[in-house]
A and B are shown apart, each in its own frame.
Chain A
Amino acid sequence: MVEVTLLIEAMDTSFGLLEDARKKAVDLLDTAVKLTSETRGVEEKKIQTILKGAQEAKLEFLNVIATFVILLGFWVLLSGNYDFFHLTLGVICSFLVAFLTHDLLFANTRVGDAKVIFQRFIAYIPWLLYQIVSSNIHVALIALSKKNPIDPRIIRFKTKLESDISWVTLANSITLTPGTITMDIKDGEFFVHALDKKVADDLHAGEMEDRVAHVFMEADHIYVQDVLDVAPIFGELRKGL
């Protein structure tokens, strides 16, 4: 009889010890999991900030190089003599100015698109000159006629362009063609003063706006740099298929 009670007591204590050990093990496991998840979160945040800083540093470097090239071209255009001394001075001065003002020129566009935008801009200029000449003739005919048929009005229209350089290009093109003057731009809406109904209808047709959108690659055009970025990944996927 005594052996059975002794045996039951031994089993109780051993079960109690196993319970304690189990609780301690569960506690240890919980703290271990919590510690590793905290450190993992902190390390992930550190890696994210390092990556973003590297991206911004790379963008700044590209900005400096692009600004340096443009300024060196401007210097060579201004200065007539191309001997070694003046070209060295040009390189030093261009680098100094590019280092000081590198975030001014390419603030809202990407540097990779600059070549395409430049070519399309040079193709846009002859069409603009043709518009200027034809509007000039129209306004001169109005000013010299006896009845003086002017009908001044103010037009408002919303544009589909997004960045500020394209807004400024459109506003300057409108002001350069005689008969229309841009007064103000508020939240993407243009206020234009036009001289009579024909120039106002030309403006509402929107051909100038379409051409400026084509120059700056906006408004349902594919960004060239996006396609170039995706192309190698696409090539790998196609090889895998």
Chain B
Amino acid sequence: MIKPSDDIIIKTLARVLAPFILLYALYVIMHGHHSPGGGFQGGVIMGASLVLLAITHGLKETQKRMSEKSVAIFSSLGVLIYAGIGVLCLILLGNFLDYSKLAKLLNVPLAQARSLGILGVEIGVGLAVMAVMFSIFYNIAMGGKRSEKDNR
């Protein structure tokens, strides 16, 4: 269990910077086509912001924001979005992850349909990576012990 640090400078700076780090991670995901970035990099930065909150404010406070149940839901949601877009392209009589078939569904030109399909897939990847990064950090910090509420 990580105890909260008793240095007030680091606590205040971490709590003021955390929303900006999260927004920067979402910016990196959304602008993957235009500047360096993409899904995986944005997911790692989101996980890093959660780790920053956990080191400075203690592990219990961070668990109130992102409990283990939320972590499991986010990781499954990311994989669901990725596979869901692929299967949607299968249903519309194309190959798996063949984004050109989405043009009929969204009424946009062909190139923009491909761009939107890739954006959706990157969002799924980012969510899954953030959840897994925080889960790995949490398991190593707890040292193998589980809390009493989880034994169900």
Contacts and interface: CB of A to CB of B under 8 A. Distances in A.
A92 B77 CA distance: 18
A97 B26 contact: yes
Interface in A172-198: 172, 182, 184-185
Contact of B18 (A96, A104, A168): A104
Nearest to B53: A104
Contact of A79 (B8, B19, B20, B27): B27
Interface centre among A71, A74, A81, A101 (most CB of B within 10 A): A101
A168 B8 contact: yes
Contact of B19 (A86, A105, A165): A105
A213 interface: no
B24 interface: yes
A42 to B, nearest CB: 32
Interface in B17-35: 18-20, 22-24, 26-27, 30-31, 34
Interface residues of A, number: 28
A101 B15 CA distance: 9
A218 to B, nearest CB: 15
B8 A167 contact: yes
Given A78-B24, A78-B27, A86-B30, A104 B8 contact: no
Contacts of B16: 104-105, 165
B13 interface: yes
Contacts of B27: 75, 78-79, 93
A74 B8 contact: no
A48 B60 CA distance: 31
B12 interface: yes
A171 B19 contact: no
Interface of B: 7-9, 11-13, 15-16, 18-20, 22-24, 26-27, 30-31, 34, 65
5 contacts: A98-B19, A105-B16, A165-B16, A167-B9, A168-B13
